[in-house]
Every structure is written in C-alpha cells, then in structure tokens.
Amino acid sequence: MNETAMQLELWDKAYNWHPFTPMASYLTSQPIIITKAHGFFLVDQFGNEYIDGFSSLWCNLHGHQVPELDNALKEQLQKVAHSTFLGLSNEPATILAKRLIELAPKGLTRVFYSDSGATAVEVALKMAFQFWHQCPNPRKNKTKFLALGMAYHGDTMGDVSIGDLGRFHDMFKPLLFPTIKSPAPYCYRCPLQLKPESCGMACALELEKLVEQHADELVAVVIEPLVQGAAGMVTAPKGFLKRVREVTKKHNVLLIADEVAVGFGRTGTLFACEQEEVVPDFLCLAKGITGGYLPLAATLATEEVFKAFLNEPGKEDKTFQHGHTYTANPLGAAVAIASLDLLMKDSGVLAQVDAKGQRMQRHLDRLWEFSFVGDIRRSGLMIGIELVGNRETRMPFPENINAAHAICMLAGKHGLMIRPLGDVVVLMPPLAIPEELVDRIGEVLYNCLMEFSQQLSGQGG
C-alpha cells in the first residue's frame, strides 16, 4: 500500500461518517476511496477501476470527465460561481428554467430551485399545503397527504413522514406527521395478495377509494411515477399512474410526481410522466439534472399553484417562505443546460436508452437459470433483481445470508461498482454507457451470480 493511500484510509476512518452505512463494520473493512474517474469508470486509491454501474447513486448520465460538461463548468467559473437567488436572479438558472418548462409536461409553468431530491419534494409538500390556504376557494381542512406503501421520497422530516420503508423511517415516527398510505403496486409481492393477471389493478382501486374517502382532508397524493426506486425498483403496472392522476383530478386533490430518480431519461423518456400522458401539479427533479456533476434540484409547478402565492397590495402576505443558500447555483445550472443539450440532441443519449435497455434485458434473461432469482424488474435502464431463498414460495433468504450484498461485493472484485437495496441487486448505469460495457456488466453479473450459487452449494444451501 502506498503512503498516500494509507493516509487517506486512516483519515477516512478517523473523521468521516458515511450515509446509509453501518459504520461499525465499515471501520473494520478495507475502504474504497475514489481518487479519480474517467468515462464510465471510477478509480480507487490503488488504481483499481470499476464500471460505475449505479451512476454514482443514480445521478450520472453521461459518464465522468465529459468535455461538454467540463467546458460548461469552466466557462461559468469565468463569470460567477454563486450569488443568491433570494430576490435576485442569474443567467444560467433563468435559461435552465425556460428549458425545463419547454420540455416538461405541458401545464407546468414555474420552477422553484433547491439543492437535492429531498428538498425538491419537501418544497412541493409545503407549497401544496400552503396552496389550499391561499387559493381562490381556500380549503384549510386539507392537511394530510397520501403516499404509497414502500415509498421513499428523501430524508427531510416531511419526506420521511410520507415515506414507508421501515429501515429508513421507523426510528423517527414520533417526530412525523400522519400520512394516509395506499398499497404499493408491487406485483411480485402484492400487498393485497392478488395475482397481476386477474387482479384488475386492485392497488389502483384501493388508492381511488382512499382518495374518495379522504378527499376533503387530502392536500395531495405523492408518487414516484412508474418505478419506486428505493423500494427495490418496484415497477407499477401500465396505467397505474394515469389512474392516480384521474382520481386526483376528480376529487380536487393535488398530485406531486417525485421524478428525482426516474427523471432525465432513466425510464426511456425524458420524464416518466410522459409515458402515460400525465401532467402533475408538481414535478420534483434532482439527481440527473446536472448529469451527475453538481447538487441541484427543481420543483416545477402549475400557474394555478403559482398564482395562489401572489400578494394583492395591502392584503395578506402570501409569500412562500422557503429557500436555500445555494438555490439556483449558477455552476450547477450551467452544467444542467449542457447536460440537456447532450440528452436531447438528435440520435443522442436519450434516443438510445431503449435499445440499451433491450440489450441489457438479454443479459438479465440469462439469470433465470439461478433458482434464487425471484423477480427481475426493468424500466429503461433502471433494473432490480430480487433474490429469494425459495423461488416457488418467494420466501426471502435467512437474515444471515445477505445475498444481494454478497453479490455486490463479488461484483466489486470483478470491477463493477453496484449497491444493493435489501434483497434486491440494483443496476442503473449511466445512460450514455456504450453497448460493449452493457455486455461487460451483463457478463460480470452472470459470473457473480454463478460464484454466489457455488458458495451456496458449498454451504449446503
């Protein structure tokens, strides 16, 4: 081990506290410290290279050291790195707002910037609540939100209140506001214990009943369109999102679409809502907005919502009293514009997502030969492989066999960086990844499952 690597490891363990990381085990393990990156590879302190198979936590679209993005950042640095957006504006954020509105589902007209996916959703929650106090026909009894089972929308307290993943949220229940929960559209493990081929999309019917029952007190329904990411890449049945929009419209309830993970091409279209021709009242964006370069987020809203926050002279102050220091950071906005240019150009990154997803699917289909593969879910280049101890009964592995984690560790040894979600192996490579690396990911994944299968056999599993 070289001296610099040793020093970094000592400092990492002495001073860092890593998110979503069991630190007791981390402190006894060999840390991987990324020191540089290029193309679609991350490089650690020893010079080992890894395919960035999870897009540096789902945000990288074009790879690393992308000349167009690098140049946009450098050019903006020659102008201004940051100035406040509180009562002032800046050039890149203004241009980006126009671009986002032009590309978003028609009907969204305003952009409110923040810093991360969590804050984008938190902004929508607060805006939606305040809207019902200030709209032309105020409904101050509307104080509750409806969200899906297994939902994850971020880690601020409002987001945690509408979340439903025990390992992330249970600790904080005494601090949270109550939320109405509707069954997740999780066809593999249906919470209603029905079969997809005969259920008639009963999960949507349950949501419709809840919205109708609680319409007078509901501020909004919050949903991740098409895919619940942190739940394990749970893909909703076709038409589910559209029915949610229809019932919210019918009962005068707002719809918040959290596209933090699914936006910017992840599911094959720029925004997931496009696939079912849905226009939400709020569209929450982050992660891929800058191509994975800088923290930036945006909450898009309709003109109807925006007008409810406009003051009449001498009357009640209706200002949205919320903001962040680095809101609409010019560096992030400049890179976001360049990222959109790459995404949207003819025959560019977005146009190739479907073909790459189909190519990946051929590799995924090979995995069915392993009896511990219970379900494979894919939308565009968002992929979840759920592992089970028994395919027939769908029984999970015992707790002492952390299968998805074990396979991700094996993948790292073979040069593929991915992370698990519970019993689900997650793949989400950058959208611009070349086809030969799609094939390499497929081969590495297959070999890791084969190696894990052999380990199980050796244990008598």
Q: Which of 141, 181, 183 is nearest to 161 (CA)?
A: 181
255/247 Cα distance (integer angstroms)? 10
The residue among 304, 319, 344 that closes a domain is: 344
pLDDT, position 1: 63
Q: Are strands 382-387 and 373-379 parallel, antiparallel or unpaired?
A: antiparallel
- Number of domains into which the chain is organized: 2
pLDDT, position 457: 85
Q: For residues 97 and 174, state if they share a domain.
A: yes
Q: For residues 191 and 247, state if they share a domain.
A: yes
Length of the chain: 461
- The overall pTM is greater than 0.85: yes
183/257 Cα distance (integer angstroms)? 17
Q: What are phi and psi of 166, to 5 degrees?
A: -55, -45
Q: For residues 49 and 192, state if they share a domain.
A: no
Specify if 316 maps to a domain. yes
134/150 Cα distance (integer angstroms)? 32
Q: Give every CB contact of residue 126 below 8 A, 6+ residues apart in sequence.
A: 158, 320, 322
Per-residue pLDDT of the chain (461 residues; tens, 9 = 90+): 688 999 999 999 999 999 999 999 999 999 999 999 999 999 999 999 999 999 999 999 999 999 999 999 999 999 999 999 999 999 999 999 999 999 999 999 999 999 999 999 999 999 999 999 999 999 999 999 999 999 999 999 999 999 999 989 999 999 999 999 999 999 999 999 999 899 999 999 999 999 999 999 999 999 999 999 999 999 999 999 999 999 999 999 999 999 999 999 999 999 999 999 999 999 999 999 999 999 999 999 999 999 999 988 878 899 999 999 999 999 999 999 999 999 998 778 999 999 999 999 999 999 999 999 999 999 999 999 999 999 999 999 998 899 999 999 999 999 999 999 999 999 999 999 999 999 999 999 999 999 999 999 877 55
CATH code assigned at 433: 3.90.1150.10
Specify if 25 maps to a domain. no
Q: For residues 307 and 439, state if they share a domain.
A: no
Longest dimension (CA), the chain: 78
Specify if 431 maps to a domain. yes
Q: For residues 74 and 191, state if they share a domain.
A: yes
pLDDT, position 460: 58
Q: For residues 160 and 231, state if they share a domain.
A: yes
Specify if 3 maps to a domain. no
Q: For residues 212 and 245, state if they share a domain.
A: yes
The residue ranges of DSSP E strands in 116-259, in sequence order, are 144-148, 180-182, 218-223, 227-228, 234-235, 254-258
Q: For residues 288 and 417, state if they share a domain.
A: no
The residue among 322, 344, 366 that closes a domain is: 344
Q: Which domain holds residue 401?
A: 32-61+349-458
285/273 Cα distance (integer angstroms)? 12
Q: For residues 104 and 219, state if they share a domain.
A: yes
Alpha helices in 115-254 (DSSP H): 117-134, 157-162, 166-169, 202-214, 240-250
Q: For residues 201 and 233, state if they share a domain.
A: yes
